[in-house]
Amino acid sequence: MANREDHLKGLMLRGLDGDASAWRALLTEMGKHLRAYFTRRLFDGGADAEDLVQETLIAIHAKRATWDSSQPFTSWAYAVARYKLIDHLRRGGRRHHHIPIEDAGALFADEDVEEGATRADLKRMLSILPERQRRLIEDVKLTGLSVAEAGQRHGYSETAAKVAIHRSMKSLEAHAAASQGVSDEN
């Protein structure tokens, strides 16, 4: 982690000094980290993640003068990404209570390890749903099928699929909140 911080901070400092190739390298590397970070945190997988990556890279570029070079670069970059994610969730009408700013390492975590753990957590979480609803959620939220396509595939009308998805998501949210000891009032 320290080596990654040193490397990225060095690219940022060189980029601020006018080194265009260092700046391009920084944005390219940050794009990889951000893509994995957002994909792990969004149910829609890559669709919105790519937009968030671009928004965050633009914000890093536009706000680069606000970074204090005596501070870690990764913490600053993580804060930018975190606020972009929160804005995105708010635009979608969702509230997300647990995006701790202290965990800057989440942005730069080893994707393979965390991806496997995330998949296991997701599988465990979805297992609370009846199979038909679970598959409907997987098809719409993870695979990217339309509600109509997924509904037809699993024997739901489009309206019934929308209702089932809504109820399933509410059930998953309640289960997640209960398992973390978080009330819906936070």
Q: Which CATH architecture has domain 2-109?
A: Orthogonal Bundle (1.10)
Contact 157, 167 (CB under 8 A): no
Domain with CATH 1.10.1740.10 in the chain: 2-109
According to the CATH classification, is domain 112-180 in 1.10.10.10? yes
Domain with CATH 1.10.10.10 in the chain: 112-180
Task: Give me the residue label for tokens 């037809």.
Answer: 152
**Confidence bin at 96 (pLDDT 50/70/90):** very low
Residue from 186, 184, 33, 31 nearest 104 by CA: 33
Least confident of 15-24, 91-100, 139-148: 91-100
Specify the pLDDT at position 108: 53
* Residue % of the chain over a pLDDT of 90: 22
Rounded to an integer, the average pLDDT of 31-41 is: 85
Say whether pTM exceeds 0.85.
no
Over residues 44-75, the pLDDT tens digits come to 556 678 888 999 999 998 888 888 888 889 88
